[in-house]
Amino acid sequence: MKFASSYEPNQYESEIYAAWEMAGVFNPTVPTVPTDDDGDGEDDRKHAKNTYSIVMPPPNANGNLHIGHGLTVATEDSLTRYYRLKGKSSWYIPGADHAGFETWVVYEKNLEKTGHTRFEYDRNELYSKVWDFVAEQRGNMELQLRALGASCSWDDLTFTLDENVTDRIYTTFEKMWNDGLIYRGEKLVNYCPKHRTAFADIEVEHKDEPGTLWDIAYDDIIVSTTRPETLFGDVAVAVNPEDPKYKDKIGKTVHLPLTDREIPIIADEHADPEYGTGAVKITPAHDYDDYEVGERHNLDRIQVISESGKMINVPEKYYDLTTEECRKQVIKDLKEQGLLKGEHKITHSVAHCYKCGTVLEPMLKDQWFIDVEKLAKVAIQHLEAGEIKFYPENKQKVLINYLKGLKDWNISRQIPWGIAIPMFKKADEDATDEPDWIYDRRTNLKEIEKAGVRYVRDEDTFDTWFSSSHWPIVCTNWTKENYNPYYPLNVMETGADILFAWVARMIMMGLYVTGEVPFKEVYLHGLVLDEHGQKMSKSKGNVINPMDLVTKYGSDAFRLGILRGRSAGMNQAFSENSVIAGRNLCNKLWNISRFVQGIVDECNENEPSTTTYQTDNMGEDWICQEINDCLNQVEKSMQEYRFSEAVEVLYQTIWDKYADWFLESQKIYKNAELLKTTLEAILIALHPFAPFVTEVIWQNLSWTEGFIVTAKWPAKLKYDPISAANFQNIRIIVSEARTTLQALPGTNNAKKYNLMYNNDSIVADNQLLIKNLTKVPAVIALNGSPKGLKLALANHELYLDVPESVVNAYKDTLTEKILSVGRELDALNARMENPNYVEKAPAHLVKETQDQINEKQALISHLKQQLEVI
C-alpha cells in the first residue's frame, strides 16, 4: 500500500512538476516551427488541425505573482490541460514582461537611494543597468508559475525584449511608417512631472477632488478658472457666440492681468454660458479643450510650465516657481490688485499618474502618434462580423463602442527601459531636400549617416502596449511566409480591466499585421476581491498572497478554491474557506483511491484496466450513468468557459455520488475492473483543475501507466439504463430511513431498530446494501403482518421495528408530514385544475404533474393509515 492516510501536497508537488517538465509532457505534439521532414518542400504542419493554443499574459519578469495571476493560471491551465486530455496538441506559451514603466519606477527609486539620478547616464547605460537589475530579480515569477501547476511550454518562454519581439515590433513600425499611420505631432499629452514621461490616455487615472474656481477680472470681463497659474499662457478669452452678455465684446481685446499683454475676445462654443461667468480663458499649451479652441482659431501656444513642473516664459517674479507656489503668488497678487472677484469651492476630476499619484500636467510635446482610425475601423468590421466570441458576451459591444471613439495613440515614452523607437532626426540643417525623420533599426547608435546626411536618434522608447499588442503574433512565431496552425489563438484569457488597453490593441495589431483576428475567443476574468467583496490593496492590508495558500493547502486546493463560484467578467470575493474546501476534495480523492487500490489488490487485478468490465448490480450501472452525465456536463461547461460549474459537478459526482453511494456499495460487491475504470475517469476529469493530486494518485496506482497529463479523456461508460434508474429506489429508501431514524426520539436509533419490508424485490435483492447504508442491525422480510413505524414512501412498504411508545412519540412529526405533503398536493392539484395549463403546457409536463399527484396521494394515504394505527 503506497497511500498514506491523508494527502500531503507538499510532499509531492515540486517533484511531480519536475517529472512532468523533464518528460516534456507540456510540449505541443505538433511542431511549433515549420518542418519538412518528408522533404516535399511543404510545411508538414499544413494539415495539422488538432491544435490548441493559448498565451499567458506576461507577468512582470522581476516581480512576484499576485492573486490575479493565480486566477489567470488556474483558468488558463485548466483549459490547456483539458484540451490536452481531449487529444489536442496544446501549446500554452509562457511569457515575461519587461513591464517598462513599472520596472523603471522601481529601478529609479533604487537609483535615487544610492544618491544618483537618471540624468547622469545616457539611455544605453541606463538600459543595461536596468537589464542587470531585472536579470538579478528574475526567476521568482517563473518558479511561482510552476508551483501553480502551469503546464506551459517553457522552452518557448517569450520575454517582451527578446530579439524576435523587437524585430517584429520594428517591422510593424516600419510598415506603419510607410503606410502613413505614424506621425510626429506636437500635441498635448498626459505628462507626469515626477517621472518625466508622457502617458497614453488609457493610463491616466481620474479622481474626483475638491478644488477652487476663481473669478478673475480681465478688464471688464470676468473669467472663471481652477488654474490661475496658467494665466501667463493665456492667448484669448472665449465666450459663447449665443451669449447675450458678451455679444458686443467679441473681437475686442482685454488686458491680461499681471502682464503687459492684450489678448482677444473670441467666440467659441466651448464657453458654456451657464458655467461660472460664462467667459473662459484660453491656454492652448496646458489644457485639452483650450488646445482645440486654439486649433480652431489659429492661436499661439505659450508653454509656461516646464517638463520638471516649474514655471517658464513668465515674468521674472514667477519664474522657476512650482505650479503650486505660482498659484499662491498669482492669487495673492490678483487680490492685491483687486482683480480677484470670486472664489467657489467645487469638485472636479483631476488626472493623476497611476503609479505615483502625481497630478498630471497636460504638456505640449513632440511625440509619435499612431493614426488609429483605419486600424479601429478594420477591427470594428471584424468584431461586428462576430469573428471573435466574447465571454462575457456583452464585452463585444463595449469594445466596439470604445473603438468607435478611439483617439490617436501616443506611443512615445520618455523612459530608457523599453524598446527604442527606431527613428532618427536630421541633424544637418543644410540638407533641406532630405526628410526630417528617417526610419532605421540601428537604435544602438546615437547618430547615423545616410546619403551623407547626419541623423540623431530619437531618445524615446515605445509604450509597452505597442509591443504587447503583438503578443499573439510573437508568441506563436507567426510569419507572413509560413502557415501556422497555432495562429489565431484558440482563446485569449486575461483580466477584464485591460480589455481596452490590451485586447483592443491586440485585435487592431493582429489584423494589421496578419490580416486575421489574433484569437477566436476572448475570456475575461474579473478582479479577485477579498472575502468581504473589497478590492485588495496594500493600504487596506487585505492582500492575499497566492503562494501562501499554495504552501498551506497545496496548489490544487488553491486552483479549485479560486475557480469555484467565479464567472466571466465579474469581480468576485475570495476567501480561504473555498481553498480549504478544495484541499478537502483532494484528500477525499486520495482516500477514494486508497480504498479502490485496496480492493484491486485484494482481487489481484493489477493489470491495466480494460473497458470490458461487467456491471453486476444497480449501483454499478448507476455510477456509470452518473459519470457519463458528469463528463457531459464538464465538456459542456468547458466549451462555454463555465469553470465554476465544471468544478461543481465534479465535486458532487466524486464526493456525493462516487464515494458516498457507489464506494459504499462496493464494500459488498468489489468489482475491481469497474472500480479501476471509473476511478480513472474521475481522476482524468478532475485533472485539469487539480493536476497534482490526480497525477500523484495516478503514479501510485498499481495498474496505471504513463502520466495522467497525457492520458486520454475518458470514453463514455457502458451500462444498463433501466438498472441504473432502479438504483434511485435504493437511494430514496435509504434516505427516508435515515431521516426517520434521526427524527425519532432518542439517539443512536439506527443501531436499535430493524428495518422490515413487505413484498419488495428491490429491497429483497439489496438487503445487505440497505443494512450497511442505514446502519440498522438487520433488514428483514415481513411476510404480510406489518408492525412498527411505516416509512413515508409512496412505492415501497417498509417499516422500522420500533415499539409502540416510540411510534406514539412520533405522532406529531407524522401529522406535520401529512400536512406538508398535503400542501404540495394542493399546489399540484391547483395546477391541474387550470384548464389553460392542461391545454397549453407541454404534454410531458402535464403527465408529470399527474404522476406526482398520484404519488402524493398514495403517500398521504399510507401516512394516514399509520396515524390511524396509533
Residues 430-459 that bind RNA (CB under 7 A): none
**Euclidean distance between CA atoms 704 and 697, whole angstroms:** 10
Q: How many residues bind RNA (CB under 7 A)?
A: 102
Respond yes or no on whether the N-terminal peptide bond of residue 488 is cis (omega within 30° of 0).
yes
Quick check: helix, strand or coil at residue 346? strand
Radius of gyration of the CA atoms of the chain, in A: 37
Task: Give whichever of 457 and 856 is closer to RNA, judged by the CB atom.
Answer: 856
Residue selected from 85, 181, 223, 563 as contacting RNA according to rule CB under 7 A: 223
Task: Give whichever of 442 and 535 is closer to RNA, judged by the CB atom.
Answer: 535
Q: Is 767 in the site for RNA (CB under 7 A)?
A: no
Place of cell 482563446: 491
Least distance in angstroms from the C-beta of 395 to RNA: 8
Residue selected from 10, 739, 759, 795 as contacting RNA according to rule CB under 7 A: 739
Scanning 123-131, 316-324, 481-489, 580-588 for contacts with RNA by CB under 7 A, the matching segment is 580-588
Give DSSP secondary structure letters for 56-122: PPPPBTTS---HHHHHHHHHHHHHHHHHHHTT-EEEEE-EEB--HHHHHHHHHHHHHHTT--GGGS-
Residues 583-622, mask of contacts with RNA (x by CB under 7 A): xx-xxx--xx-xx--x------------------------
Residue selected from 414, 479, 567, 813 as contacting RNA according to rule CB under 7 A: 567
Scanning 55-63, 537-545, 563-571, 690-698 for contacts with RNA by CB under 7 A, the matching segment is 563-571
Scanning 40-48, 447-455, 620-628, 834-842 for contacts with RNA by CB under 7 A, the matching segment is 834-842
**Euclidean distance between CA atoms 832 and 854, whole angstroms:** 12
Place of cell 400536512: 819
Three-state helix/strand/coil letters over 120-181: HCCHHHHHHHHHHHHHHHCCHHHHHHHHCCCCCCHHHCEECCCHHHHHHHHHHHHHHHHCCC
Least distance in angstroms from the C-beta of 284 to RNA: 12
Least distance in angstroms from the C-beta of 82 to RNA: 17
**Euclidean distance between CA atoms 612 and 164, whole angstroms:** 52
Scanning 162-170, 171-179, 200-208, 806-814 for contacts with RNA by CB under 7 A, the matching segment is 200-208
Q: Tell me which residues in 384-423 interact with RNA (CB under 7 A).
A: 392, 394, 397-398, 401-402, 405
For residue 255, give the C-alpha cell: 488686458
Task: Give whichever of 130 and 647 is closer to RNA, judged by the CB atom.
Answer: 647
Residue selected from 217, 235, 279, 492 as contacting RNA according to rule CB under 7 A: 279
In whole angstroms, what separates CA 284 from the centre of its chain?
41
Three-state helix/strand/coil letters over 538-569: CCCCCCCCHHHHHHHHCHHHHHHHHHCCCCCC
Place of cell 546619403: 451
**Euclidean distance between CA atoms 694 and 683, whole angstroms:** 6
Q: Is 854 in the site for RNA (CB under 7 A)?
A: no
- Going by C-beta distance under 8 Å and a sequence separation of 6 or more, which residues neighbour residue 182? 173, 176, 368, 369, 370, 371
Task: Give whichever of 161 and 599 is closer to RNA, judged by the CB atom.
Answer: 599
Of 134, 168, 180, 127, the residue nearest 422 (C-alpha): 168
Amino acid at 205: E
Q: Tell me which residues in 82-101 interact with RNA (CB under 7 A).
A: none
Q: Is 748 in the site for RNA (CB under 7 A)?
A: yes
Residues 781-820, mask of contacts with RNA (x by CB under 7 A): ----------------------------------------
Least distance in angstroms from the C-beta of 165 to RNA: 26
Find out whether 506 and 466 touch, Cβ atoms under 8 Å.
Answer: no
Task: Give whichever of 36 and 848 is closer to RNA, judged by the CB atom.
Answer: 848
Task: Give whichever of 30 and 557 is closer to RNA, judged by the CB atom.
Answer: 557
**Euclidean distance between CA atoms 615 and 719, whole angstroms:** 7
Least distance in angstroms from the C-beta of 568 to RNA: 9
CA-based torsion, 228, 231, 233, 239: positive or negative = positive
Name the β-bridge partners of 389.
521
Decide the pairing of beta strands 423-426 and 528-529.
unpaired
Residue selected from 2, 6, 242, 721 as contacting RNA according to rule CB under 7 A: 6
Residue selected from 2, 116, 540, 751 as contacting RNA according to rule CB under 7 A: 751
Q: Is 629 in the site for RNA (CB under 7 A)?
A: no
Q: Tell me which residues in 122-181 interact with RNA (CB under 7 A).
A: none
Name the β-bridge partners of 362.
190
Residue selected from 386, 532, 541, 868 as contacting RNA according to rule CB under 7 A: 532
**Euclidean distance between CA atoms 116 and 380, whole angstroms:** 48
**Euclidean distance between CA atoms 531 and 182, whole angstroms:** 47
Task: Give whichever of 182 and 293 is closer to RNA, judged by the CB atom.
Answer: 293
Task: Give whichever of 24 and 745 is closer to RNA, judged by the CB atom.
Answer: 745
Q: Tell me which residues in 533-562 interact with RNA (CB under 7 A).
A: 533, 535
Q: Is 8 in the site for RNA (CB under 7 A)?
A: yes
Residues 302-341, mask of contacts with RNA (x by CB under 7 A): ----------------------------------------
Least distance in angstroms from the C-beta of 398 to RNA: 6
Q: Tell me which residues in 646-705 interact with RNA (CB under 7 A).
A: 648, 651-652, 655, 659-660, 663-664, 667
Least distance in angstroms from the C-beta of 416 to RNA: 27
How distant, in Å, are the alpha carbons of 143, 271, 281, 331 from that of 214? 56, 16, 12, 9
Q: Tell me which residues in 699-738 interact with RNA (CB under 7 A).
A: 735, 738
Least distance in angstroms from the C-beta of 137 to RNA: 29
Percentage helix, strand, coil for the chain under 3-state DSSP, each rounded to 5: 45, 15, 35
Least distance in angstroms from the C-beta of 559 to RNA: 14
Scanning 3-11, 51-59, 371-379, 699-707 for contacts with RNA by CB under 7 A, the matching segment is 3-11
Q: Is 849 in the site for RNA (CB under 7 A)?
A: yes
Task: Give whichever of 20 and 574 is closer to RNA, judged by the CB atom.
Answer: 574
Q: Is 760 in the site for RNA (CB under 7 A)?
A: no
Q: Tell me which residues in 511-530 interact with RNA (CB under 7 A).
A: 529
Decide the pairing of beta strands 361-370 and 409-410.
antiparallel
Task: Give whichever of 129 and 856 is closer to RNA, judged by the CB atom.
Answer: 856
Least distance in angstroms from the C-beta of 503 to RNA: 12
Beta strands per DSSP E along 752-852: 755-757, 779-781, 789-790, 798-800
**Euclidean distance between CA atoms 822 and 819, whole angstroms:** 5
Residue selected from 201, 408, 516, 635 as contacting RNA according to rule CB under 7 A: 201
Q: Is 742 in the site for RNA (CB under 7 A)?
A: yes
Residues 343-372, mask of contacts with RNA (x by CB under 7 A): -----xx-----------------------
Q: Is 581 in the site for RNA (CB under 7 A)?
A: yes
**Euclidean distance between CA atoms 95 and 467, whole angstroms:** 13
